[in-house]
Amino acid sequence: MTKKKHKTQPDSDHEEKQATESTGTGQATEGQSAGDQISGEQTAENGYDLPAEMETLNAELEDIKDKFLRATAETENVRRRAENDVQNARKFAVERFAAEILTVRDCLELARAVDLKEDNQEALKKMHEGLDLTLKQIDSVFEKFQIIMVNPEGEKFNPDLHQAISMLESPEVAANHVITVIQKGFTLNDRLLRPAMVTVSKGRGNGQNKENDQKSAENETNSP
């Protein structure tokens, strides 16, 4: 009986040891599973970098804003160019008409320059009156279309508006000034349509210069 009891005790101890090891193993398994779950959550958290993602989105937003501003500026430039083209088309739409009608006005002005004769004075007078009326009407049309006459007689020569046909000596007109206007010029909305054809003064004649040179020579001869 005593020997059986001694044999049973070690078996019981062995069973308790196995139970303890089993319990410890179970606890270790549960702890390892919880640790894996926490590690997985941390890994998922670290995989989504919020500051970096926000920085990327801000960079893309700035790029979109820059492209939008450039497109807006280009659209505004196109609109302004279109407006300028429309304005120029309106201003200079009658340019060809104006160039053609200038010849008609020149003819009327030449007819107006005919002197009255004693034998047909009354007829010429009526013709002149009709020509004067026609010229006034044409000038009124020109004024409506911003066609301005350039008649620079006595004025300083301006190469932007005048075309010099010849240069003459004139003691009455200062040098580089218009003596006579051969053909009047015109501008259309401040743009030159046709330059005025003019003769320009050289200043005093050579005879006056020679006389001055002779007087200067005489003064030098008489001087001690």
CATH number of the domain where residue 178 is located? 2.30.22.10
Same domain, residue pair 118 and 104: yes
- For residue range 114-157, list pLDDT tens digits in order: 776 666 777 788 888 888 888 888 888 888 888 999 999 999 99
**Within a domain: 118:** yes
Bridge partners for 178 per DSSP:
200
pTM: 0.54
Same domain, residue pair 125 and 169: no
Same domain, residue pair 178 and 125: no
Domain count, the chain: 2
Task: Give the pLDDT of residue 1.
Answer: 43
Instruction: Measure the CA–CA gap between 2 and 107, rounded to whole angstroms.
Output: 160
- Strands 162-169 and 196-203, by their bridges, are parallel
Same domain, residue pair 107 and 132: yes
- What's the Rg (C-alpha) of the chain? 54
Instruction: Measure the CA–CA gap between 137 and 111, rounded to whole angstroms.
Output: 16
Bridge partners for 183 per DSSP:
197
Q: Which residues of the chain have pLDDT under 70?
A: 1-48, 116-119, 205-224
**Within a domain: 165:** yes
Instruction: Measure the CA–CA gap between 196 and 187, rounded to whole angstroms.
Output: 10
Per the structure, the complete domain to which residue 99 belongs is given by 87-145
Task: Give the pLDDT of residue 100.
Answer: 82
Instruction: Measure the CA–CA gap between 174 and 50, rounded to whole angstroms.
Output: 86
**Within a domain: 64:** no
Q: Are 145 and 193 in contact (CB under 8 A)?
A: no
Same domain, residue pair 165 and 222: yes
**Within a domain: 129:** yes
**Within a domain: 35:** no
Grouping H, G, I as helix, E, B as strand and the rest as coil, residue 4 is helix
Task: Give the pLDDT of residue 108.
Answer: 83
Q: Answer with the one of 145, 178, 213 that is the final residue of a domain.
A: 145
Same domain, residue pair 102 and 138: yes
Q: Are 178 and 136 in contact (CB under 8 A)?
A: no
Same domain, residue pair 179 and 205: yes
Same domain, residue pair 136 and 166: no
**H-helix or E-strand spanning residue 208:** helix 206-222
Sign of CA dihedral 56, 59, 61, 63: negative
Same domain, residue pair 137 and 154: no
Q: At what angle do helices 121-144 and 95-112 cross, to 10 degrees?
A: 160
**Within a domain: 213:** yes
